[in-house]
Chain A
């Protein structure tokens, strides 16, 4: 069975601080995909990134970066110079390759204080 653990339930940071959201996953599959989604207060989940298990390169997109470490089964997400608009619940998710059956973590609620 697949499992995604986001141990941080809630994080509060002051604007412009950097923050890292942790994600640890469990799977027996050799090929799988990892995702991050953002759910702002408005409620609609927004896709952030998709990464397959063979691609361990870190990725940077503006103020967002992701660190994928297969050895520790982690796929952490860092926001640099956080802004109030980053306040949201962030979900890490996992799916076996070839299947659109996604297991979500419980989410980390990030509050950025101005």
Chain B
């Protein structure tokens, strides 16, 4: 079974720009979560999508948004980039069905650098 894939792997953007990151979950997984990982704040939960609906949300500003498609693939968007948005963005997939939360399977991440 193919793992979680994320594209692109590396990205360099300028302050004020916007960026879209993509995540393809493991086949059969309907839940996709996004995390931001930084040396200072560690791993922080952004949001979770299940069946094209945002089901859970972390404490991030509205500049961070996401969506999920009918094939469970997900994208996250960050608008008006700030220097502090430089981080490793991780996507994780899980079954997401009742009886959870289930273990998550993580992708390799997208390393975003904002200059």
Which residues of A are interface residues toward B (Cβ below 8 A)? 33, 35, 37, 43-47, 50, 91, 95-107
Contacts and interface: CB of A to CB of B under 8 A. Distances in A.
B101 A97 contact: yes
B88 interface: yes
B108 A103 contact: no
Given A98-B100, A100-B33, A45 B42 contact: no
A38 B68 CA distance: 27
Among A35, A45, A47, max chain B CB count under 10 A is at A45
Given A50-B103, A101-B45, A45 B90 contact: yes
Contact of B48 (A35, A44, A47, A100): A100
Interface of B: 31, 33, 35, 42-45, 48, 50, 55-58, 88, 90, 92, 94, 96, 98, 100-109
A44 B94 CA distance: 15
Contacts of A107: 42-43
A57 to B, nearest CB: 18
A50 B101 CA distance: 9
Contacts of B107: 44
Contact of B33 (A37, A46, A102): A102
A50 B104 CA distance: 10
Contact of B56 (A47, A91, A100): A100
Contact of A44 (B50, B98, B100, B108): B108
Nearest to A32: B101
Contacts of B48: 100-101
